[in-house]
A and B are shown apart, each in its own frame.
Chain A
Amino acid sequence: MDVVNQLQRQFIDYSASLHREGFLDDQFTQLQKLQDDNSPDFVVEVASLFFEDCEKLINNMARALEQQQGVDFKQVDASVHQLKGSSSSIGAMRVKDVCIAFRSFCEAQNRE
């Protein structure tokens, strides 16, 4: 039991720090609230889904950006948009902010 408690505390601390640093925001807390007896692994499932999705999107983006002959910004933009949506749903605030910045780059068609 102790171990469990310890782990729990660690977890709390960790998430608190993440919050503070701005990695996570309230949305994540809400997500946690959603987890209950009916869906015990909710947060875990969502998080893993998020990772998978992210990976896919990032790969897409990388591929699109690496194109030699003119980067297809629209495509990149679409991917970023989706990433932004996902990350904001899950509460990954930082990722979301980065996405926003990314999008403005896309609009400026600035590859850098």
Chain B
Amino acid sequence: MEEKMGGSNGEDSGEDQFPVGMRVLAVDDDPICLKILANLLCKCQYQVTTTNQAIIALKMLRGNKNRYDLVISDVNMPDMDGFKLLELVGLEMDLPVIMLSAHSDTKLVMKGITHGACDYLLKPVRIEELKNIWQHVVRRKKPDSKDELAAPNHDKSRGGTGEAGQTWVACSSDEKVNKKRKDQSEDEEEETEDNGHENEDSSSQKKPRVVWSVDLHRKFVAAVNQLGLGDQAVPKKILDLMNVEGLTRENVASHLQKYRLYLRRLSSVATQQANMVVALGSRGPSHLRTGSLDGFGDFCSFTGPRRFSSASLPSYQSRGTFGRLNSSAALTLSGISSGVIQPGNSVNGLGKIQPVVLPANQNQNGALFQGITASIELNQLSQTKSTNHFGEYNCVNERNVFRISSSFPDARVVVGSSSNSLSTASGNALVLQGNTQEVQWSAAFENLPSFGMTSLNRESNDLSVLGSSNCLEHGRCSENWQGTVQLSNFPPSNEQLPSNNLQESIPWRNSSPSNSRIALSSMASSAVLGDSRADMLCKAGLNNSYSHVDSRVSASGSMMDQNNAVSSNTNDVSLFSHLNGEAPFAVRHSEGDKSSSDTDLRSNDNFLFLQSKPQNGFSQNIFESLEDIMSPVFKLEQNNETAFMDGGFGFDVAHPLGSCM
């Protein structure tokens, strides 16, 4: 249930009414506490919105980034852990979050802090404590807004603001948007409009929030990679490298911090799962589609270190930062793939990948990862749009991939429209990306699959063979896939690469590893998916077969394709995020959860199941539609597998791919 209580703000035409009118979102499953809290907040003259479910809260937050200034959340909630919500909000929306609990246990407080909470209050809540919570909002805004926001004008003046608002909006838009977003999408509208609008009511200091679009993030990751994640990666240098105007050091610093946390999380996750099933899907779908940031959520979930933390991918997607998957999950995939791409060594790659991926994904396909999930290939495909991404993606991926993972067989990167890029030989995830655009993919995949697959086998890369090759060309893909599917060759669970995408139903010839086969076959069938989508789901089939965990992925993968979910756009790529256990991602296909079967990954359209092999985490990420890709965790861990799922296939083929070639 949610209710909104109007605060008294607004009327004051005073200039700086802050903290009056600050918009707070309160989440607590205990109705009594919630009611009291709401009432207290009203007394402090804040604008309160309440809900007793974390999920609803997230939806509301994602619905409009600038609607709230602060979030207060209970720790123990039945539908979602308070800390998890805290993380998500922090990553996606960068809003200050205050934890609330009846427990005063030090460990809990510490946990709250490590997850990024601004403050930790004990129940019963007292009004004096609430009177001061606005300081957290100011503190966050401070660095950025200083310049532009010349507070007085823009903010408050509500009514008349007209101009002030305008200017401010303009400024802030700049600021905020400055990230690429702005330029590219006018739909930053939110920002602009909101800004203006926000200014007014928002408590004056509303500093235009920097939105980390995909592009921006990509640059960021690129810069970080360049500098190396060690001590060299200082915000100042990163900022210089990125060379984005309007971005402040503080923005970079805070983003860097989050990124580091994310990586850390990934590595811990990755270790467990070798396969990163691109579960991204789980996250993906929701965000991808909506563009919401879910990605981040997933981001974190990244299982297995190597893998591209699909989670990261998710973040891409949803987050505006990534540029949102743009409508199509494609982006997500991209994000994922990027994430995936990274594999290989530490998750870092993921970060990289992501940025890459996301950019432009507007197309669904593209977004999806084209890189990542090879499946994403979707580029296909029908979507055509995606193809672009892939290219991009792949390129990016490649780069990232290579960069990052170095381990990757860089061959992988293949992608690039050159399609074969996959050869990344490194065996690591091949990011099939090469395919970029459907055809390319197919070509790439074709190539890849073979190599990737094989290579994968070697390493155990599960290469997600991203089925990417699958469908690629539609006809082509199937061919390749078969070869690739061979992945089955890969030893262990190889990542059964994503289902043959679509259409092509690329029959994965799983000849080799049983796993791969399985998937492949499924893929093949799935490949048929229709055009777009990456039927990658073959993977699903594959996955299932896989003994490895990833099968999940595959399952999802299959999902992914779901039939093409091709609709690519929205496929909820729920892909596999699970792949390895990642379950979380379970790509949910929004579209149709297709195969809901285990595969969480439903990769919507394009996902490739990147099945990450259990082995090292070869998570093949099945890219299910982009989203899944994200999670595809290509776990490459093992070898570096990082199978990228670049765009589409990101095969994580960590090694084998290389060898295959």
- A interface with B by C-beta (< 8 Å): 27, 30-31, 34, 38-39, 42, 45-46, 49-50, 53, 78, 81-82, 84-86, 88-91
Q: Tell me which residues across on chain B come within 8 A of A86, comparing CB atoms.
A: 30, 32-33
On chain A, the residues within 8 Å of B31 by CB distance are 49, 53
A39 / chain B contacts, CB cutoff of 8 Å? 39
Residue of A nearest to B6 (CB): A38
Tell me if B111 is interfacial: C-beta within 8 Å of chain A. no
In the assembled complex, B40 has its CB within 8 A of some CB on chain A: yes
For B123, give its contact among A31, A45, A85 (CB under 8 Å): A85
Across-interface contacts of A49 in B (CB, < 8 A) = 31-32, 35
CB-defined contacts of A42 to chain B, threshold 8 Å: 39
User: Among the listed A34, A46, A53, A81, which residue makes an inter-chain contact with B76, where contact means beta carbons less than 8 Å apart?
Assistant: A81
What is the minimal beta-carbon distance from A32 to any residue of chain B, in angstroms? Answer: 12
Q: What is the bound-complex CA distance between A81 and B127, given in angstroms?
A: 22
Whole-angstrom CA separation of A31 from B42 in the bound complex: 13
Most A C-beta atoms less than 10 A away, residue of B32, B42, B76: B32
Contact A53-B30, Cβ < 8 Å, known A30-B127, A46-B36? yes
B102 within 8 A of A: yes
A81 and B102 contact, Cβ closer than 8 Å, known pairs A27-B124, A91-B124: yes
Closest to B42 in A: A38
Contact of B30 (CB < 8 Å), options: A30, A31, A45, A82: A82
In the complex, the answer to whether A78 meets B39 with C-beta atoms within 8 Å is: no
Closest to A91 in B: B124
Q: How many residues of B contact A (CB 8 A)?
A: 19
- When distances are taken between beta carbons in the complex, the residues of chain B under 8 Å from A53 are 30-32
Name the distance in Å between B26's Cβ and chain A's nearest Cβ: 13
Contact: A31 with B102, CB < 8 Å? no
Q: Is B58 an interface residue (CB 8 A)?
A: no
Contact call A45/B124, Cβ cutoff below 8 A: no
The reply to whether A45 and B35 contact each other, CB–CB distance below 8 Å, is yes
Q: Which of B36, B76, B101, B103 contacts A31 (CB 8 A)?
A: B36
B113: chain A residues at CB < 8 Å are: none
Q: Does B126 sit within 8 A of A, measured CB to CB? A: yes
Taking chain A's interface residues, is the majority helix, strand, or loop, or is none over half, making it mixed?
helix
The residues of A that contact B42 with a CB separation of less than 8 Å are: 38
Measured between alpha carbons, how far is A81 from B124 in the docked complex, in Å? 13
In the complex, chain B residues whose CB is within 8 Å of the CB of A46: 32, 35-36
Q: A77 → chain B, closest Cβ, in Å?
A: 11
Q: Which residues of A contact B127 (CB under 8 A)?
A: 30
Complex CA–CA separation, A71 to B431 (angstroms): 52
Once A27-B124, A30-B127 are accepted as A-B contacts, the answer to whether A85 and B39 lie under 8 Å apart by CB is no
B234 within 8 A of A: no
**Neighbouring B residues of A31 by C-beta, 8 Å:** 36
CB distance from A108 to the nearest CB of B (A): 17
A86 to B123, CA, bound (A): 8
Q: Which residues of B contact A78 (CB under 8 A)?
A: 76
Q: Bound state CA distance, A38 and B31, in angstroms?
A: 19
CB of B125 within 8 A of chain A? yes
In the complex, the chain A residue whose C-beta lies closest to that of B103 is A81
Smallest CB-CB separation from B122: which chain A residue? A88
Contact B32 A89 (CB under 8 A): yes
B4 CB–A CB distance under 8 Å: no
B43: Cβ under 8 A from any A Cβ: yes
Nearest Cβ in chain B — how far from A97, in angstroms? 13
Task: Give bound CA distance, A34 to B35, whole Å.
Answer: 11
Which of B33, B40, B43, B126 is the one whose CB lies under 8 Å from A85? B33
**A88 / chain B contacts, CB cutoff of 8 Å:** 102, 123-124
Closest-CB distance, A73 to chain B (whole angstroms): 16
The answer on a CB contact under 8 Å between B126 and A30 is yes
Q: How far is the CA of A85 from the CA of B40 in the complex (A)?
A: 16
Q: Which residues on the A side are within 8 Å of B126 (C-beta)?
A: 27, 30
* Beta-carbon contact of B36 and A85 below 8 Å: no
Report the Cα distance A91→B123, complex, angstroms. Answer: 11
Q: Would you give the shortest CB distance from B126 to chain A, in whole angstroms?
A: 7
- State which residues 65-124 of B face A: CB under 8 Å: 76, 101-103, 123-124
Q: Which 6 pairs from chain A and chain B are nearest by CB?
A: A85-B102, A89-B124, A88-B124, A86-B32, A89-B33, A85-B123
**What is the CA–CA distance of A51 and B35 in the complex, to the nearest angstrom?**
14
Task: State the CA gap A63–B39 with chains docked (Å).
Answer: 33
- Flag if B123 contacts A34 (CB, 8 Å): no
- Return 14 A-B CB contacts under 8 Å, by A number: A27-B126, A30-B126, A30-B127, A34-B36, A39-B39, A53-B30, A84-B102, A85-B30, A85-B123, A86-B33, A88-B123, A89-B124, A89-B125, A90-B124
Nearest opposing residue in chain B for A38, CB measure? B42
Residues of A within 8 A of B102 (CB): 81, 84-85, 88
Closest residue of B by beta carbon distance from A57: B30
Interface centre among A38, A84, A91 (most CB of B within 10 A): A38
What residues of A have a CB within 8 angstroms of the CB of B40 in the complex?
34
What distance in Å separates the Cβ of B263 from its nearest Cβ neighbour in chain A? 33
Q: Is the CB of A34 within 8 A of B43?
A: yes
- Closest chain B residue to A81 by CB distance? B102
* Contact present for A90 and B32 (CB under 8 Å): yes
Please name all residues of chain A whose beta carbon is closer than 8 Å to the beta carbon of B36 when the two chains form the complex: 31, 34, 46, 89-90
State in angstroms the CA–CA spacing of A38 and B32 once bound together.
18
Q: How many Å from the CB of A78 to the closest CB on chain B? A: 7
CA distance A39 to B102 in the complex (A): 26
Closest chain-B Cβ to A45's Cβ sits at a distance in Å of 7
